[in-house]
Amino acid sequence: MSLSLTFPDGNVKSFDDGVTTKDVASSISISLGKKALAGKLDGKLVDLLAPITADGAIEIITQDSKEALEVLRHTAAFVLADALSQLFPGLRFGQGASTDDGFFYDTDKDNGQVAVTDLEAIKNKMAAIIKAGGKIELASISAADAKARYQGDQFKSQLAANAGDPISGHKLGDFFDFEEGALLPDLKLLKHFDLLSVAGAYWEGKSSNPMLQRVYGTAYFKASDLEEDAKRRQEAKERDHRTIGRDLDLFFVDPEVGAGMPYWMPNGATIRRTVERYIVDREVADGYEHVYTPVAANLNLYKTSGHWQHYREDMFPPMDMGEGEELELRPMNCPSHIQIYKHHIRSYRDLPLRIAELGLMHRYEKSGALSGLQRVRAMTLNDGHTFVALDQVQDEFQKILKLIMSVYEDFDITDYSFRLSYRDPKNTEKYYANDEMWNKSQSMLKAAMDNLGLDYYEAEGEAAFYGPKLDIQTKTALGNDETMSTIQLDFMLPERFGLTYIGSDGEEHQPVMIHRGIVGTMERFIAYLIEQYKGAFPTWLAPTQAVLIPVKNDLHLDYVKMIRDKMVEAGLRVKIDDRNEKMGYKIREAQTKKVPYTVVVGDSELDSATVSVRRYGEDKAWSQSAEMFVNAVKADVANYSRKDARK
């Protein structure tokens, strides 16, 4: 009996039933047979030696294939589980898998979890298993055998119960495991791996389930790639906004007070306040009217908007106020701004009406997803909504986009791209059902981008439930893709809330609503900036812009205070370090705190009315008059630290 296999180039070949991917690869060429690691049958990875018993589309996976690392890392996860089972008898196992940057396995044991101090021993055991040179074989066990094998392990028992009968998996010596995916047939290619960390992970990802201990690792085919990965991870560690936030005393999150509810310390609050003042000033200058609206509203408001129907799982439970009234912590600001619009009768002369707010919102993020300032439950959105007539949409869209790009320039954000996010017309549950609205609004966005001559790419299924949007994707300091800003067209909410304006013809018309966020939430944006600058904020953003150090308090402190007063009068943020510590210690601490300017004043500076100045990250100091220094720092702040203001 024969079967037909279709190759990526469209060619179809016949093979005997039970042929393996290795057989197929070898039939093409001897060298391909040697290079083959696994197969991909109808889009699913299969073992190199797994028999093929039905027609299908096949790809040969080699080290050059994008799926190759997935196979390698899945194999590493298998070997990790084998090593753990040998080192910790009675250990319970959850799931293991490969990921985009490594692999993991979830574990649980009675007498304390697997600890980071165990990683070296586990790694050595994995190396010993690999060196022994055993072959990984396809295997299966009956459901009855699985029940006996995993007795006492409620997690693996549950997985086995859902895996059918018999249970297909892999074995290496006496070790057997079952997880979906392909493994390497032998371990000779698994040479370059490392174990990285341990962290808690809920069983099946549900916070109501037990917490397991997840062991993380990574693996590559080349030693150079593993070394490069280690450098990237070290860079990520050094840029981690949570670590920098702690070291520079910017913010903290205390789960005992409220998980995902950040506290801003004076230093962090100063950075945030500077950003907020900047944003408000830019928006007011661009024609926005800033408002304040309540943090909670009647639940019916969010039922009308559709947020309750579409985002209920991400909203906090309603508060029962009695007598049928339920209040909801707002997950979005748009319904509140709609109420601002509705408060007066509007005319075409009022349009475009631009409303903006630094609006506090609350969303119920799962506890396992919370992370520093990047994923929180309380967030302040740099939010804005413009109400326009239909013929004003394109001009207003372009005006908003130009404002966003100008703000990016001030923050030195240069690596970004544009994504037009459309609905998936097949997903009728997620998206508002109005084909005419979607077609009209999507074509408007596309026309506006084409008119500006900007490059963009289109993404189906990424739109908000009420309309398409332009997402501006930025690259973080670590190369990750992140949505920074959005502009969304909305025909739905004006219709649901019955919004109108009186046109020049004296008739009522429905406005179009444009949602926009320039820098997203303050929390995520500050986290982005912390990592982008590595905590060394440019002068205009730095919580302390200069530290003044007198060599001797009794001789030089009065002069230092005079300089301080001039800087404060100029609106600068400056501190005097007059502690009874050694000069070198004070200078090093100012550098550790990443203060832009460290100023030392001694006898020569006092006699010549000068200061000795050192910039953060530089070894050499220079001398200039106190007046010139103050003016230089003022200029540094005024031009958003774009240039070296000391020259």
Give the model confidence (pLDDT) of 124-133 as tens digits. Answer: 999 999 999 8
Domain boundaries, position 31? 2-62
**The domain spanning residue 164 has which CATH number?**
3.30.980.10
Cα(555)–Cα(610) distance, rounded to whole angstroms?
15
Average confidence score pLDDT of the chain: 92
Q: Is residue 235 part of a domain?
A: no
For 71-94, the pLDDT digits (tens) are: 999 999 999 999 999 999 989 999
Q: Is residue 133 part of a domain?
A: yes
Q: Is residue 244 part of a domain?
A: no
Do 327 and 458 lie in one domain? The reply is yes
Last residue of a domain, one of 45, 62, 79: 62
Do 482 and 546 lie in one domain? The reply is no
For 293-322, the pLDDT digits (tens) are: 999 999 999 999 988 988 888 899 999 999
Residue 645 has pLDDT above 60, yes or no: no
* Phi-psi sector, 632: left (phi>0), alpha (psi -120 to 50), beta: alpha
Which alpha helices (DSSP H) does 307-434 contain, by range? 307-311, 334-342, 393-410
Mean pLDDT of 545-569: 96
Q: Is residue 29 part of a domain?
A: yes
For 389-409, the pLDDT digits (tens) are: 988 998 999 999 999 999 999
Query: Which helix (H) or strand (E) covers residue 344, if one does?
Result: none
Cα(521)–Cα(374) distance, rounded to whole angstroms?
9
Query: Which helix (H) or strand (E) covers residue 572, if one does?
Result: none
For 40-55, the pLDDT digits (tens) are: 999 999 999 999 999 9
Residue 638 has pLDDT above 70, yes or no: yes
pLDDT band at 555 (very low <50, low <70, confident <90, very high): very high
**Which one-letter amino acid corresponds to residue 624?**
Q
For 166-217, the pLDDT digits (tens) are: 999 999 999 999 988 899 988 999 999 999 999 888 898 877 789 899 999 9
Point out which residues pair with 19 in neighbouring strands. 52
pLDDT band at 646 (very low <50, low <70, confident <90, very high): very low
Do 208 and 316 lie in one domain? The reply is no
Calculate ∠ Cα 458-362-473, nearest 5°.
25
Residue in the block written with tokens 């074995």: 171
Residue 625 has pLDDT above 90, yes or no: yes
For 425-483, the pLDDT digits (tens) are: 777 666 666 777 788 888 888 888 888 889 999 888 878 777 788 999 998 877 788 89
What is the count of structural domains for the chain?
4
Cα(446)–Cα(272) distance, rounded to whole angstroms?
34
Q: Which has more confidence, 468 or 333?
A: 333
Mean pLDDT of 330-356: 96
At 621 the pLDDT is 92
Strand, coil or helix: what is 364?
A: coil
Last residue of a domain, one of 62, 91, 107: 62
Do 128 and 184 lie in one domain? The reply is yes
To the nearest 10 degrees (0 to 180), the angle between helices 553-569 and 626-638 is: 40
Do 273 and 338 lie in one domain? The reply is yes
Q: Is residue 199 part of a domain?
A: yes
Mean pLDDT of 347-365: 95
Ordered strands of the 325-329 beta sheet: 296-298, 325-329, 319-322
Strand, coil or helix: what is 548?
A: strand
Last residue of a domain, one of 62, 93, 109: 62
Do 438 and 296 lie in one domain? The reply is yes
Q: Is residue 136 part of a domain?
A: yes
Do 495 and 588 lie in one domain? The reply is no
Cα(630)–Cα(599) distance, rounded to whole angstroms?
11
Contact 76, 136 (CB under 8 A): no
Do 96 and 121 lie in one domain? The reply is yes
Burial class (CB in 10 A: 0-12, 13-18, 19+), 507: exposed
**The domain spanning residue 383 has which CATH number?**
3.30.930.10
Do 42 and 99 lie in one domain? The reply is no
Q: Which two structure tokens, joined as six digits, stand for 498?
A: 């019955």
At 289 the pLDDT is 97
Do 266 and 405 lie in one domain? The reply is yes
Mean pLDDT of 573-596: 95
Residue in the block written with tokens 């493994």: 183
Percent of the chain exceeding pLDDT 70 equals 98
At 401 the pLDDT is 94
At 430 the pLDDT is 67
At 42 the pLDDT is 94
Query: Which helix (H) or strand (E) covers residue 226, if one does?
Result: helix 223-239
Please state the residue numbers annotated as binding site for Zn(2+).
334, 385, 515
At 465 the pLDDT is 74
Tell me how far CA of residue 428 lies from CA of 421, 435, 465, 558, 618, in angstroms.
16, 11, 10, 72, 58
Q: Please list, in sequence order, all residues whose beta carbon lies within 8 angstroms of the beta carbon of residue 543, skipping any fewer than 6 positions away.
A: 248, 250, 266, 267, 268, 270, 271, 537, 573
Please state the residue numbers annotated as binding site.
334, 385, 515
At 283 the pLDDT is 97
**The domain spanning residue 595 has which CATH number?**
3.40.50.800
Do 199 and 260 lie in one domain? The reply is no
Q: Is residue 172 part of a domain?
A: yes
At 72 the pLDDT is 97
Cα(109)–Cα(87) distance, rounded to whole angstroms?
12
Do 201 and 269 lie in one domain? The reply is no
Q: Is residue 239 part of a domain?
A: no
Burial class (CB in 10 A: 0-12, 13-18, 19+), 235: middle
At 437 the pLDDT is 75
Percent of the chain exceeding pLDDT 90 equals 76
